[in-house]
Amino acid sequence: MEALEEDNKVLFLSCADSTNTWLKEQILKQALSCAAVFAGRQTAGRGRHGRHWESPEGGLYLSISFPFENQNFPPIFSCVAAGVAIAGILRREPYTADVFLKWPNDIFAGGRKLCGMLSELVTAPGIAPHVVIGIGLNVNAKVVTADSLYEAVSLFELKGHEFDVRLLAEQIVSEFRREWRNTVEFGTEQLISHWCALSETPGAHVEVLQDENRFAGYCVGVSDAFELIVENENGSRRFSAGDCRTLRQPGVQR
C-alpha cells in the first residue's frame, strides 16, 4: 500500500463523484492507506445522514484517510480534530474569518454554515480498519446554496476575495495530521478542551434534531465521549448523534 502521510502530499483530481467514495475504493483495493485527495468539483458529493453535498467548482472537497486500530476512543474524534485544525487555520492570516465550531462537526460563520465534515469507517476482511474524513468547505463561491437545514456562506462572501483552494487543502492536511498525532499521543481530553474553546455550542440554547424528534434546552457542554449535554426543565439528556441548531432568539437558526 502506498502511504502519502510523510510529506502531507495531496492528490489533486479535477473531478470526482465523491472524494470519500474514491478514497474508500482505494483503501479497499489496498492501493492507498494514509492519503489525502482533493477534487475541483464533485458529481455526487455526500453529506451527513445521506444528504447531498452541492459541490461546484471553487469549493474545497477533500478527504483524508488513515488506519484506525487499537484506539481507546471512537472515530468521531477524527472529525473533532479536523474541526479544531480547520477553525484554527481559518482564524489566522490570510483568512482571518470569525468562525466557530458547532456540534457535532460543522464550522459556522455569522450564523451560516461554512464547512461540513463526514467521517466514515472502512472495514473489510483482511484490511486494517481505516477512517476517511471528508471535508466540504465553501471557499470561492459567490453565492452558496443552503442545505436542507442551514443557511450557507463562503469565504469569498465573508472576505470579499478569492483564496487558493489547493494551498488551503495542503494546510488542512498538515494541521489535521499534527492535531491527530497529538490526540493519539496525549488523549482526547486536551482535544475536547480545544474544541470547546473554538465552539459556540457549549453555553448556548440549542435544539437537537434526531430523526423526527426535537429537544430544546441549554447546552452545558460535551462529555468525555463527545456527547452533547443539554438541560431543560424536564432534565438532562446526552446526544451522541444528530443535528443541532443554536437558537439565538426563538425561530432563528444558526
Distant-in-sequence, close-in-space partners of 40: CB < 8 Å, separation ≥ 6: 12, 13, 14, 15, 57, 61
Q: How far is the CB of 38 from ligand BTN (least distance, A)?
A: 9
The x, y and z cell numbers of residue 215, run together, are: 429537544
The x, y and z cell numbers of residue 65, run together, are: 484517510
Cα 140 versus chain centre, distance: 18
How many residues touch ligand BTN under the rule CB under 6 A: the total is 20
Q: If binding is defined by CB under 6 A, does position 119 make contact with ligand BTN?
A: no
What phi and psi values does residue 176 have, to the nearest 5 degrees?
A: -65, -45
If 0-12 CB within 10 Å is exposed, 13-18 middle and 19+ buried, where does residue 91 land? middle
Site map (CB under 6 A) of ligand BTN, residues 24-43, x = contact: ------------------x-
Q: If binding is defined by CB under 6 A, does position 19 make contact with ligand BTN?
A: yes
Q: If binding is defined by CB under 6 A, does position 18 make contact with ligand BTN?
A: yes
Q: If binding is defined by CB under 6 A, does position 130 make contact with ligand BTN?
A: no
What phi and psi values does residue 180 have, to the nearest 5 degrees?
A: -70, -40
Segment interacting with ligand BTN, rule: CB under 6 A, options 24-32, 44-52, 93-101, 189-197: 44-52
Of the two residues 198 and 218, which places its CB atom closer to ligand BTN in the complex? 198
Q: How far is the CB of 239 from ligand BTN (least distance, A)?
A: 16
Contact 95, 155 (CB under 8 A): yes
Enumerate residues 45-84 that contact ligand BTN by CB under 6 A.
Answer: 45-48, 51, 53, 61-63
The x, y and z cell numbers of residue 88, run together, are: 484554527
Q: If binding is defined by CB under 6 A, does position 154 make contact with ligand BTN?
A: no
By the criterion CB under 6 A, which residues form the site for ligand BTN? 18-20, 42, 45-48, 51, 53, 61-63, 106, 116-118, 134-136
